[in-house]
Amino acid sequence: MRLVRIGDKLVDRDRLSNIITEILHRRAVGATQQEVALSMGVERSFVSHLEGLAEVRRGNRIAVIGFPIANKDDIENVAQDFAVDFVYILSEAERKEYVGRKSSAEIFNELLDILASLKDYDVVIFLASDKRIATMEKILDREIIGVPIGNSPIRRDRKVDPKMLYDVLTNVTEGKEPGDEAYSKRKFRIFKKKPQGRG
C-alpha cells in the first residue's frame, strides 16, 4: 500500500491506480462512459476527463500487416510505440509453419476473417510483395499504404527499415494526406478509398 498525504486526507495510490485501470478496461471492452460511471460510483464527466488526459491518438484506426519480415521485432516495436490497433507480422518461417499445420479450409476461413476485420480500419499499412499489395488494394475499400519489399514471389525474409515505418505512422497519426512531401520522398504507393457508387 502506497499512501500519500494531501492536506488532512490520506490517499491510497494503489487503490486509485486500480480504479483507473478498471475504468479504462470497462471502456475498452465496450461499456459507455455513463455505464462505467454508474458501476464505479463516479461522475460521467470524470470518465471523459480521464480518457482525455491520457489520449495519444484520436481518429484513424490503423492496421499494420507484413510478410515475410526479417526484423519482425523491430517492426512490431514501432507499431506498439504508436499504439497501432492491429499488427500482423510474419517471418517466412512462421508463414511456412502456419501453412504446414492448417488445412486449406482453415487457412481460407482465417484469411477471410482477417480480410473482413481489416474493413474496420481507416488505414492499412501493408508490407509485402508488389503483387500482394496490388491484390490487397483490389479487395479492401480502405486507404492502403503499400510498402513493396520485393517482387513476387518473395521466398526469403526481407528487412524493413523501422525508421520508414516510424515516418509513415507519424504522418498518418498527424493527419498528413497522401501526396504531401513527407509521403512523396518514400518509395511506397498510396491507394485512396474508392468513392461510393450511386445506387
Question: In terms of domains, do 117 and 150 share one?
Answer: yes
Residue 116 and residue 70 share a domain: yes
- 79 falls within a domain: yes
Q: Indicate the number of domains in the chain.
A: 2
More confident residue, 167 or 175: 167
Would you say residue 197 lies in a domain? no
Distance separating alpha carbons of residues 172 and 166, to the nearest angstrom: 10
Q: Does residue 108 share a domain with residue 158?
A: yes
Q: Report pLDDT digits (tens) over 128-148.
A: 999 999 899 888 876 789 999
Note the pTM of the prediction, 2 decimals.
Answer: 0.64
Q: In this structure, what CATH number is given to the domain that contains residue 130?
A: 3.40.50
pLDDT of residue 190: 47
Confidence of residue 182 (pLDDT cuts 50, 70, 90): very low
Q: Which residue has the cell 504507393?
A: 189
Q: Residues 116, 164: one domain?
A: yes
If asked whether residues 11 and 98 sit together in one domain, one would say no
**Main-chain phi, psi angles of 115, to 5 degrees:** -60, -40
Q: For residue 21, give its domain range.
A: 3-54
Cβ-in-10-Å burial (0-12, 13-18, 19+) of 163 comes to exposed
Please indicate, yes or no, whether residues 87 and 179 belong to a single structural domain of this protein.
Answer: yes
Q: What pLDDT, in 10s, does the model give residues 151-169?
A: 999 999 999 999 999 999 9
Give me the pLDDT at residue 43, please: 93
* pLDDT score for 41: 93
Same domain, 103 and 173: yes
